[in-house]
């Protein structure tokens, strides 16, 4: 299905240098902010107190969150668990306070507006658990990157695998750079969103690279830049349909999904936008600069020599 058809190829490769300079600047800034400011890690990574409070009737989660934030807690997590009357609260570690003291103070603050609220349980999540989650998250990201590189190298050619993995890592680092610069909370849900973007972005790269291979087989006189322009232009309608529908769903989660899905949807939103951008200008640009040519994808066919042909083996 095509939404529209572009008859004349758009010269993307003519402007690839400018956009790659922009990508390098964004990438360097993201690395700088990650190195200097770091990520605002959530309770799952840093450790903290988890408490479950039961109300006589369903409370307003936003009011609960505002009451706890007024006590000096930043980015506190408040969500329903089990029923609409049970609320799970995640509190970051505060110096000078034990887990029991934190839960007692928070419960006292909540009972000012809801005297019948009861504390069902309280737990302390130690930083050792956070270290394990961080290590496992980085390992997951590394295995995904390795798997994508091997897949593209086997399906196309090693230069395509390198270009695709650089483009996808570009997206991941920029997402992390946004979270570092604005100090948005980085939770396990956000990590899941980053991994989802990593796998989602490679889909667009595969579609473009597959069209590149097809065009190399059909058009022998086109240059690599012309083949890339044609491949990107011919898949533009599919790109708009796929990513616009996905982005519409993600924006619904961003605006209407509540605080528990906000940063997850935000990571996906940034990732989808930069995923399309990097597939066109970063991945395809690297393919162009690494000198991919027709012979890399289309192996020359060997012709059999007829021994009865008097002209066989003659040099023209």
Question: 269-311 pLDDT, tens per residue?
Answer: 999 999 889 988 998 888 888 888 777 666 655 555 555 655 5
Q: What is the DSSP string of the chain?
A: --S---SS---GGGGHHHHHHHHHHHHHHHHHHHHHT--EE-HHHH-EEEEEEE-SS---HHHHHHHHHTTT-SS-EEEEESEEEEEEEEEE--TT--HHHHHHHHHHHHTTT-TT-EEEEEEEE-HHHHHHHHHHHHHHHHHHHHHHHHHHHHHT-HHHHHHHHHHHHHHHHHHHHHHHHTT-EE-HHHHHHHHHHHHHHHHHHHHHHHHHHHHHHH-SSS-HHHHHHHHHHHTHHHHHHHHHHHHHHHHHHHHHS-HHHHHHHHHHHHHHHHHHHIIIIIIHHHHHHTT--HHHHSPPPPPPPPTT-TTTT---
Residues 180-197: pLDDT tens digits?
999 888 888 898 898 888
Q: Give the count of beta carbons closer than 10 Å to the beta carbon of residue 190.
A: 24
> Do residue 140 and residue 102 come from a single domain?
no
Q: Based on the domain organization, do 61 and 110 belong to the same domain?
A: yes
pLDDT band at 76 (very low <50, low <70, confident <90, very high): confident
Does residue 172 form part of some domain? yes
Residues 22-49, mean pLDDT to the nearest whole number: 89
In a domain, residue 303? The reply is no
Helix 99-110 / helix 61-69 crossing angle, nearest 10 deg: 120
Mean residue pLDDT across the chain: 84
* Structural domain harbouring 81: 46-123
Tell me: do 117 and 133 sit in the same domain: no
Q: What is the pLDDT of residue 130?
A: 65
Residues 281, 147 within the same domain: yes
pLDDT at 155 over 90: no
Last residue of a domain, one of 123, 158, 178: 123
Residue with tokens 């849900």: 189
CB within 8 Å of 193: residues ≥ 6 apart: 263, 264, 265, 267, 268, 271
Domain end point (choices 95, 123, 151): 123
Residue 5 placed within a domain: no
Is 30 a residue whose pLDDT tops 90?
yes
CATH number of the structural domain spanning residue 162: 1.20.1640.10
Q: Are 229 and 183 found together in one domain?
A: yes
Q: Are residues 195 and 215 in the same domain?
A: yes
Instruction: Answer whether residue 109 shows pLDDT above 90.
Output: yes
Alpha carbon distance 22, 55 (integer Å): 52
Q: Which two tokens stand for residue 109?
A: 């603050």
Residue 148 has pLDDT above 80, yes or no: no
The pLDDT, as a whole number, for residue 157 is 78
pLDDT of residue 4: 59
Reported confidence tier of residue 43, pLDDT bands at 50, 70, 90: confident
40-41 vs 185-186, strand pairing mode: parallel
Q: Does residue 165 belong to any structural domain of this protein? A: yes
Looking at residue 310, its pLDDT comes to 56
- If asked whether residues 29 and 102 sit together in one domain, one would say no
Same domain as 19, residue 100: no
Kindly state whether residues 79 and 145 are assigned to the same domain.
Answer: no
User: Percent of the chain at pLDDT above 70?
Assistant: 90
Over residues 198-224, the mean pLDDT reads: 82
- Residue 54: which CATH number? 3.30.70.3400
Our count of domains for the chain comes to 2
pLDDT at 3: 60
Q: How far apart are CA 69 and CA 110, in angstroms?
A: 11
Residue 244 has pLDDT above 60, yes or no: yes
pLDDT band at 217 (very low <50, low <70, confident <90, very high): confident
Residues 72 and 209 in one domain: no
Q: What is the mean predicted confidence (pLDDT) over 85-106?
A: 88
In a domain, 315, yes or no: no
| Confidence (pLDDT) at 26 | 94
Whether residue 316 lies inside any domain: the answer is no
Once rounded to an integer, what is the mean pLDDT over residues 56-68? 91
- What are the CA-CA distances from residue 57 to residues 76, 85, 112, 183 (Å)? 22, 5, 15, 34
Q: Which of 52, 41, 27, 49 is nearest to 185 (CA)?
A: 41
- Is pLDDT above 60 for 314? no
pTM for the full predicted model: 0.77
Please tell me the least confidently modeled range out of 147-151, 173-177, 208-212, 243-247: 147-151
Asked if 279 and 194 sit in the same domain, the reply is yes
Region 87-112: mean pLDDT is 88
CA angle 159, 161, 167 (to 5 degrees): 105
| Structure-block tokens of residue 198 | 């990593």
Asked whether residue 304 is domain-assigned, the answer is no
Output the pLDDT for position 40: 84
Q: Is residue 301 part of a domain?
A: no
Predicted local distance difference test score (pLDDT) of residue 316: 39
Residues 188 and 265 in one domain: yes
- Domain end residue (candidates: 123, 149, 176): 123
């Amino acid at each position: 299905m095509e939404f529209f058809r572009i008859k004349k190829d758009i010269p993307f490769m003519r402007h690839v240098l400018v956009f790659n300079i922009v990508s390098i600047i964004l990438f360097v800034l993201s690395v700088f902010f990650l190195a200097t400011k770091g990520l605002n890690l959530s309770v799952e990574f840093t450790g903290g107190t988890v408490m479950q409070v039961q109300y006589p009737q369903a409370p307003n989660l936003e009011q609960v969150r505002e009451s706890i934030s007024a006590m000096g807690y930043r980015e506190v997590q408040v969500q329903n668990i089990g029923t609409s009357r049970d609320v799970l609260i995640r509190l970051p570690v505060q110096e000078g306070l034990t887990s029991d003291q934190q839960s007692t103070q928070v419960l006292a603050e909540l009972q000012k507006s809801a005297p019948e609220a009861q504390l069902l349980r309280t737990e302390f999540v130690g930083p050792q658990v956070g270290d394990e989650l961080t290590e496992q998250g980085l390992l997951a990201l590394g295995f995904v990157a390795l798997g994508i590189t091997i897949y593209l190298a086997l399906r196309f050619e090693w230069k395509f695998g390198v270009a695709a993995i650089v483009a996808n890592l570009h997206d991941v680092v920029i997402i992390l750079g946004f979270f570092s610069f604005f100090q948005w909370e980085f939770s396990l849900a956000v990590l899941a969103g980053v991994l989802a973007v990593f796998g989602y972005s490679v889909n667009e790269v595969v579609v473009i690279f597959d069209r590149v291979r097809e065009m190399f087989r059909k058009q022998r006189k086109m240059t690599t830049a012309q083949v890339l322009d044609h491949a990107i232009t011919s898949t533009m309608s599919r790109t708009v349909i796929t990513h616009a529908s996905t982005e519409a769903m993600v924006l619904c989660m961003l605006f209407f999904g509540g605080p528990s899905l906000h940063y997850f949807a935000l990571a996906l939103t940034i990732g989808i936008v930069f995923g399309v951008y990097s597939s066109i200008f970063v991945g395809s640009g690297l393919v162009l600069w690494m000198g991919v040519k027709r012979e890399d994808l289309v192996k020359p066919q060997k012709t059999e020599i007829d021994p009865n042909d008097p002209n066989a083996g003659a040099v023209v």
